Amino acid sequence: MLSALIAIAVILLDQISKHFVCTNLKPVGSIPIIDGILNFTYVENTGAAFGILSDNRAVFMIVSVLVIVVLSIVVVKFQGQSKLFDICLGLIVGGGVGNMVDRAFLGYVIDFIDFCAFDFWKWVFNIADSAVVVGCILAIIFVIFDKKAATIGQKAQESQTEKTDE
């Protein structure tokens, strides 16, 4: 349930922000938010992350649908086992659906967060992208700590078994 609520919240926040950007930012192009650090810049991204593989809409739609279906199955199967895992899945699914909605209805993804503090950073992204990245980072952290916990638990159990054998 937590995953679904987070996914819905991400989708709504993403779509509302993109509607606001289309209405207010598209005619202007770019607005500095924090001078030299952060701009809101209207971009129509026909590619994948950071504009990679532009103009491959069918490929992105198929891959997006497959990933969202697989993640939805994972959500149903493993939901409730860990709040952190539920949060990860909700963020990833919500972000994926948010961008897929754009691709399906517009043919491109609307990006607008332009972090321009570094000359080498030229990527413009959106809330859905942020949710996917944060969800993936949290999932990696979850897997690392879950694995360590399992290893520690196994060593403790082996230690107990050795003591009882003596």
- Positions annotated as catalytic residues are 111, 129
**One-letter amino acid for residue 94 of the chain:** G
Region of residue 40 (left: phi > 0; alpha: psi -120 to 50; beta: else): beta
> Could you give the CA distance from residue 158 to residue 136 in angstroms, rounded to a whole number?
33
Please, which residues bridge with residue 47 across strands? Answer: none
Largest Cα span, the chain: 78
Report DSSP letters for 88-152, one per residue: HHHHHHHHHHHHHHHHHHHSSEEEEEEE-SSTT---EE-HHHHHHHHHHHHHHHHHHHHHHHHHH
Is the separation of the CB atoms in 3 and 79 below 8 Å? yes
